[in-house]
Amino acid sequence: MIGISTKTVYAVAALHELGTVPEGEVLRIKEIAKRASIPQNFLEQILLELKKQGMLSSIKGAHGGYRLAKPLKEIRLKDVIEILESDGFMDICKTDNPALKLFWTDVRKRVEKTLSIPLSELKEYQLKAAQALNYSI
Confidence class for position 1, pLDDT limits 50, 70, 90: very low
- Given this structure, which CATH class describes domain 6-136? mainly alpha
**Domains of the chain: which residue ranges?**
6-136
137: pLDDT strictly greater than 70? no
What lies within 8 Å, CB to CB, of 109 at 6+ separation is: none
Give the pLDDT of residue 85.
87
66, 26 Cβ separation under 8 angstroms = yes
pLDDT tens digit sequence for 84-125: 987 655 556 678 899 998 998 898 889 889 899 999 998 888
Q: What is the pLDDT of residue 29?
A: 96
More confident call, 38 vs 135: 38
- Tens-digit pLDDT profile for residues 4-44: 899 999 999 999 999 999 988 999 999 999 999 999 999 99
Question: Residue 77: what pLDDT?
Answer: 93
Q: Which residues, 6 or more positions from 54, have their beta carbon under 8 angstroms from its beta carbon?
A: 69
Cβ contacts of 90 within 8 Å, gap of 6 or more: none
Cα gap 33→10, rounded to integer Å: 9
The Cα-based distances of 29 to 22, 59, 72, 94, 117 in angstroms read: 16, 11, 18, 41, 26
